[in-house]
Structure 1
Amino acid sequence: MSAIKRLRPLPALLAAGLLAAACSGSDGGKWVGDYVTVNDFEAVRGWSDASALTRDHAHSGQYATYVDPGREYGITYDLPLGEASVHTLKGVAVEAWAYLPSPQAKATLEVQVPLPGEGNRMGFADRLVLAEQVTEGGKWMRVRKEFAFPAGLPAEAHLRIFLWRGGSAETAYLDDLKVKALE
């Protein structure tokens, strides 16, 4: 069994712990802001595909995820919608810190909801183009975008979030990722 298949439960465990903490108050599900996941990529080393981590640049701590001409994708968050939040997700607000060597880098933060079953049918797909918010090269900048999902996505559909190179010849870094539920 490959290391990736053996370690797939990690996102579910992280999400479960975060959801338990988020549900400790009595919000009754009326407010936006339950955390789906938070990751500074420090706790991932040793548990997942550590080759997608680097010490070259980090916004906080020692590690960040990255893409470059030799790496198409950063670390992927992948969890069924029904396990990602205690409430039905109407979307997510994604916030992170991005570092681009120049604003011309084409890397994106992808948010996808593939539908269950065979094939590559998407219930939702959109992206945050990092260069639209990272206006200065060689500097960490905060990026943020809200993604509204269509109604009726099944709980078995997966929420996937990952850094994608997008054909860029330049390295791009992402750190301190926060994903909040839109309800």
Structure 2
Amino acid sequence: MGALAALTLAGCGGSNESVIDPNVLVDANFDTLAGWIPDAMSGTLARGKAHSGNYALKVDGTHEYSLGYTAPLGNLSGTRIKKIKVSAWTFLPAAGASATLVVTVGNPATPAEKPLMWEGISLGKLAAPGKWVEVSKVITLPENILPTYTLGLYLWREGSASQPIYLDDLRVTIEP
């Protein structure tokens, strides 16, 4: 994730539901990030191209990585998380655009080491050009994770794709 800026997205935007679901770990529509992000990453927050609201994450020929999310698992849930479901809406303006929604779990005490878990949802293979499509994946977390280990999420442009790819309404829930 190197130069990837990590911002907390939990609670940013989301639904207007008055009941809080304890199984929802992350619920972000990216509308409340405007003005809070570093200038270097502002190009990955696209205005006017969103599934809901006004903003969505974007990667393109200039931005290989989007804004990222990172939080200790123990801050997201009081119990050990065995499985999560990651879902989001994605938009590919044209065929050939390709990006991966990346989900990681890592030990913050050893940030230079490879994450304990790295899973990707390849959006180019699941989305239809020219329309918003919901994508999701259920991920089993490693058994040896600790509450201090961090959950990370970000959008990564695959290869040398120059077409923009948009992501909105990102949600992570605990699966039974």
TM-score normalised by length of structure 1: 0.79
Aligned-pair CA distance for 1:116: 2.9
Aligned-pair CA distance for 1:44: 1.6
Amino acid in the other structure paired with 1:22? D
What SS is found at the alignment partner of 1:154?
A: coil
RMSD, aligned CA: 2.5
Aligned-pair CA distance for 1:106: 2.0
CA distance in 2, matches of 1:48, 1:181: 28
Given the alignment of the two structures, is residue 36 of structure 1 paired with residue 35 of structure 2, yes or no?
no
Amino acid in the other structure paired with 1:45? A
Q: Deviations over 1:37-69 (max 9, x none)?
A: 111111121233460211141111111110011
Q: Deviations over 1:90-132 (max 9, x none)?
A: 1310111100123432201000012232322311101000122
What SS is found at the alignment partner of 1:104?
A: coil
CA distance in 1, matches of 2:90, 2:47: 14
Work out whether residues 87 and 135 of structure 2, in 8 Å CA contact, stay in contact via their aligned partners in 1: yes
Amino acid in the other structure paired with 1:39? A
Work out whether residues 9 and 30 of structure 2, in 8 Å CA contact, stay in contact via their aligned partners in 1: no
Structure 1 or 2, whichever has the larger Rg, is 1
CA distance in 2, matches of 1:58, 1:132: 20
| 98-107 vs 154-163, greater mean Cα deviation | 98-107
Aligned length: 163
CA distance in 2, matches of 1:77, 1:145: 17
| 39-48 vs 151-160, greater mean Cα deviation | 39-48
Work out whether residues 85 and 181 of structure 1, in 8 Å CA contact, stay in contact via their aligned partners in 2: no
Aligned-residue sequence identity (percent) comes to 33
Task: From 55, 61, 65, give the equivalent of 1:73.
Answer: 65
CA distance in 1, matches of 2:33, 2:48: 16
Work out whether residues 66 and 173 of structure 1, in 8 Å CA contact, stay in contact via their aligned partners in 2: yes
Work out whether residues 62 and 162 of structure 2, in 8 Å CA contact, stay in contact via their aligned partners in 1: no
Given the alignment of the two structures, is residue 174 of structure 1 paired with residue 167 of structure 2, yes or no?
yes
Work out whether residues 99 and 155 of structure 2, in 8 Å CA contact, stay in contact via their aligned partners in 1: yes
Work out whether residues 9 and 27 of structure 2, in 8 Å CA contact, stay in contact via their aligned partners in 1: no
Amino acid in the other structure paired with 1:46? G
1:99-138 pair list within 5 angstroms: 99-118=91-110, 119-134=112-127, 136-138=128-130
Structure 1: runs of 5+ lacking an equivalent: 24-33
Q: Which residue of 2 aligns with 1:85?
A: 77
Structure 2: runs of 5+ lacking an equivalent: none
Given the alignment of the two structures, is residue 48 of structure 1 paired with residue 37 of structure 2, yes or no?
yes
CA distance in 2, matches of 1:55, 1:105: 19
